[in-house]
């Protein structure tokens, strides 16, 4: 699923409050973006995580951890996850 996680078939936004986390991995380009219901621990398997890839500071690819926007990943493990 491309786009924000937790969307239903009519693309209505989620009704729950959200937390979004960002990781720039030491640079100025956003590398990881995480989405979970508010109040969730970063060590819980409740995160949808997107990875951004760049070439010469130009965004070239966006990919979800595990190939899905399903909230089943651990934010703390974002660097070791497989993205597609």
Residues 44-58: b if buried by 16+ CB within 10 A, e if exposed:
eebbbbbbbeeeeee
pLDDT in tens, the chain (84 residues): 344 455 444 444 556 788 999 999 888 999 999 999 999 999 999 999 999 999 988 999 999 999 999 999 999 999 999 999
Q: What is the pLDDT, as a whole number, of residue 27?
A: 84
Residue 33 tokens read as 């973006």
**First-to-last C-alpha distance (Å) of the chain:** 11
- Whole-model pTM: value is 0.80
């Amino acid at each position: 699923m491309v786009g924000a996680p937790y969307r239903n078939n009519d693309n209505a936004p989620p009704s729950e409050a959200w937390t979004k986390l960002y990781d720039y991995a030491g640079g100025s380009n956003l590398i990881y973006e995480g989405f979970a219901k508010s109040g969730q621990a970063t060590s819980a398997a409740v995160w949808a995580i997107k990875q951004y890839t760049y070439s010469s500071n130009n965004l070239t690819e966006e990919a979800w951890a595990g190939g899905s926007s399903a909230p089943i990943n651990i934010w703390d493990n974002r660097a070791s996850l497989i993205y597609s």
